[in-house]
Amino acid sequence: MHRRLLGQGLEVSAVGIGAMGMSQSYGPNPGDRDAMIAVLRGAVERGVTFVDTAEVYGPYVNEELVGEALAPLRDQVTIATKFGWHIADGRMQGTDSRPEQIRRVADASLRRLRTDTIDLFYQHRVDPDVPVEDVAGAVGELVAAGKVRHFGLSEAGAGTIRRAHAVHPVTAVQSEYSLWTRDPEPEVLPTCAELGIGFVPFSPLGKGFLTGTVDAGTTFAEGDIRHRVPRFSAENRAANAALVDRVRELAVSRGATPGQIALAWLLAQQPWVVPIPGTRRIERVEENAGATAVALSADDLAGLDALAGAVGVQGNRYDDAGMAMVGL
């Protein structure tokens, strides 16, 4: 696994791993905690050393899982986690990025992660009630105190990124980005390029759609987040199939999997793009890591771009409430 630079000199594996699905969102949660610990440790053994979690995943239990799994390997990994929610009765109750809350969350996350320093601390969503300058200042104080190494933003718009970066350097912006989610391209990616900020795509495989294993007939288990995502209605899955068909064809011609083609497309966009596909299976970790060896030609990339533009994508990537919190 080769390595890439995000902003501020933070070097990470070219493909990371998102740990969220090990605790929530994709059907029944795994009952075997030891199995998930084995997947995380196995990922590190295979060179996937950039691990993403958040206090709200669970809540809390995902950070605890990551902390237990990676404590013996702490000097080999880069751990990213997130703040920015008011959590009560085990549920998100709206955003909360007040400086005092950021400090509380940092201390609690450090305990759960069994570490002295958070490598990358993202604001999970922009808080409309707290100026991002105050957020950046609070994280800057945590950096000065040695509790945090780097500051990040998630699903923030270009203007917010600029305002935050003017107060404390932003190392990475995390947003959904893939062949079928191109929202960051017009403004956010050029802003990152200008300011020297890395970009971390989550859901780089389109919540599984771009792996070719989901179609109009797929039935999702109870508790699967895709039940409430408009893009995953049966009608929209059928309408979006043309893009996956082309990815599958290209995969066959390259001796790769559709998922590897989708990740290789992302890796080809910029040298500071580092996707974080999630999985619960070590064989998927290996498959995702293998995307770094898949070379796409200029014609391949242009063809995928042209097809994505021609067929379009049907359905929003969040419900209305989720879409209202994106790009602030």
Residues belonging to the active site: 57
Instruction: Give residues with Cβ within 8 angstroms of 186, minimum separation 6.
Output: none
Q: Which of 252, 265, 259, 177 has the alpha carbon at shortest distance from 212?
A: 259
Query: At which residue do the structure tokens 């059907």 appear?
Result: 27
> What region, left, alpha or beta, does residue 200 occupy, with left being phi > 0 and alpha being psi -120 to 50 degrees?
beta
Please state at what angle helix 258-267 crosses helix 241-254, rounded to 10 degrees.
Answer: 90
3-state secondary structure of 144: helix
Distances (CA, A) of 163 to 59, 177, 272: 29, 22, 21
Query: At which residue do the structure tokens 């795509």 appear?
Result: 201
Q: Which of 155, 161, 189 has the alpha carbon at shortest distance from 175?
A: 155
> How many CA atoms are closer than 13 Å to the CA of 328, on its beta-carbon side?
18
Instruction: Say if CB 119 and CB 291 are below 8 A apart.
Output: no
- Read off φ and ψ for residue 199, nearest 5 degrees: -130, 130
The 8-class DSSP code of residue 68 comes to H
Please tell me the distance from the alpha carbon of residue 51 to that of residue 17, in angstroms, as a whole number. 5
Please tell me the distance from the alpha carbon of residue 142 to that of residue 7, in angstroms, as a whole number. 18
Please tell me the distance from the alpha carbon of residue 129 to that of residue 143, in angstroms, as a whole number. 23
| 102-108-113 Cα angle (round to 5) | 120
